[in-house]
Chain A
Amino acid sequence: MSRRKSPSPEELVEKLLSGDRRAAARLISIIEDQSDQANDMMKMIFPHTGRSMIIGLTGSGGSGKSTLIDHLIGRFRAMDKKVGVVAVDPSSPFSGGALLGDRIRFQSHAVDDGVFIRSMASRGYLGGLARGTTDVVRVMEAMGNDVIIIETLGAGQDEIDIIHLAQTCILILTPGMGDDIQAMKAGIMEIADIIALNKADLDKANLCLSSLETSIHYGMDKKKGWLPRVVPTIAFASKSTDVRGVDELVQAIIDHQAYLHETRKIDEVRNKRIEQELGLVFKDEVEKVVFAGIKGTGKKRQYIESIRTGKSDPYSVVKEVLSTFLRV
């Protein structure tokens, strides 16, 4: 029983550009599945992208990422900005499936036409995002979203793809969970533009706050122009009047964005993003070409055998393959 209608790629893109949500949603699925049409569609979409504010949030589970995003969406909507959200969660390495529950925390926005939320499973991709996230963000831009918020999985230590994709990276820490110390050790503050110290009402919050600020003050190169700003927040409160720090967080985002634009650093940031995307596309295409080329020839198996039996090694194999296919 086929229950799916099938508009053409051109139709989908056209609809997308006019803000059609269903089209956007279908396009995102096509990208996630890495279907053949995906690249052609991306070509059509690309010219309409590159102008949105892209914010990345990273932090360990339980840090309050999603709750903060809920507030951020509200604030941006109050500024009459359209918001797109991508929430990434891990796929099971065993079943390939995923439980995507981040959006529960911002479900109140599900009936707002100015908000588009998409949950993505990492599908085995390491780095904190899903393979298609870079393209999905482009789709959301093309749809007309002024602000795009990306929620990564993980604490930002190994999962740092976000720094190439987002213009403003926010790291969420909470006092006493040890990740603040971890973060400092791992030099994570080199990566974060803003640090939200959430659950700032907990014990040790003040201690944490001052040690963070000290580390930044002494540890970082002030010539860089933007020192990571630490914003204490209380995202989860039973009364909206008890929520704290969100206005300051939004201000920090706006300030950082202003900094990027005024110093033209935004171009650098955009270049980084493009470099990342280029690298990904390159890798995919090369793999496709190579594997298409040796498909059915049994060569892949031969290569693997030869490496295993010590007759060859990965580097030699790749050199040989590339010289065959790319005349390098």
Chain B
Amino acid sequence: MSPKKTLRILIAKPGLDGHDRGAKVVARALSNAGMEVIYSGLHQTPEQIVNTAIDEDVDAIGLSILSGAHNTIFARVMKLLKEKGASDILVFGGGTIPKKDWTPLETMGVGRIFSPGTDTREIVTYLTETLPH
């Protein structure tokens, strides 16, 4: 089975946090780079995010978290993906996630975390190089 022609990425805002500037900028940058970006909107639960990712057959999920609750949220999402047999979906993230939390997240199976101010081209490159298509 050949990998997909066009990359499909879900950008999601989990939890109560309403700061969507970064998520929207990244979504737009990815779509400008030729990807199909599904934007989930605000206040998503991990269940909504994972179900959406599966139904939309996305190659990756990008979580934008500025609330500080990233450890809880990533853990939930990774667990749900595993339960639903969808661990092959790449999970990456951005927002205010301190470097010291990156390694534990990596151990959970999360991909790259991008710090504030990351050049969106870096995210595009990461996705195009990591995801087969």
Of the candidates B1, B34, B54, B90, the one whose C-beta lies within 8 Å of that of A22 is B54
Residues in A with CB closer than 8 Å to B39 are 99-101, 104
User: Number of A residues whose C-beta is below 8 Å from B?
Assistant: 40
Known: A26-B57, A111-B51, A123-B6. A98 touches B31 (CB 8 A): yes
CB nearest neighbor in A for B12: A107
Interface stretch of the complex, out of B40-48, B68-76, B94-102: B40-48
Pair B44/A25 contact, Cβ less than 8 Å: no
Q: How far is the CB of A176 from chain B (nearest CB, A)?
A: 27
Q: In the complex, A123 Cα to B40 Cα: how many Å? A: 20
Any A CB within 8 A of the CB of B28? yes
- Taking chain A's interface residues, is the majority helix, strand, or loop, or is none over half, making it mixed? mixed
CB nearest neighbor in A for B28: A99
Q: How far is the CB of B56 from chain A (nearest CB, A)?
A: 6
Chain A, residues 11-49, CB within 8 Å of chain B (1/0): the string is: 000000000011011101110110101000000000000
Of the candidates B31, B45, B52, B130, the one whose C-beta lies within 8 Å of that of A92 is B31
Any B CB within 8 A of the CB of A241? no
Pair B33/A97 contact, Cβ less than 8 Å: yes
Q: How far is the CB of B90 from chain A (nearest CB, A)?
A: 6
Any A CB within 8 A of the CB of B3? yes
Residues of A with Cβ closer than 8 Å to B?
Answer: 1-7, 9, 21-22, 24-26, 28-30, 32-33, 35, 37, 91-92, 95-101, 103-104, 107, 110-111, 116-119, 121, 123
Q: Known contacts A30-B1, A100-B37; can you find 19 more A-B pairs with CB under 8 A?
A: A1-B130, A1-B132, A4-B88, A9-B1, A22-B54, A25-B55, A29-B8, A33-B2, A92-B32, A97-B31, A97-B33, A99-B39, A101-B38, A103-B40, A103-B52, A107-B41, A110-B51, A111-B48, A111-B51
13 CB-based A-B contacts, threshold 8 Å: A3-B132, A21-B54, A22-B57, A29-B57, A30-B1, A33-B6, A37-B1, A95-B34, A96-B6, A103-B52, A104-B39, A107-B41, A111-B48
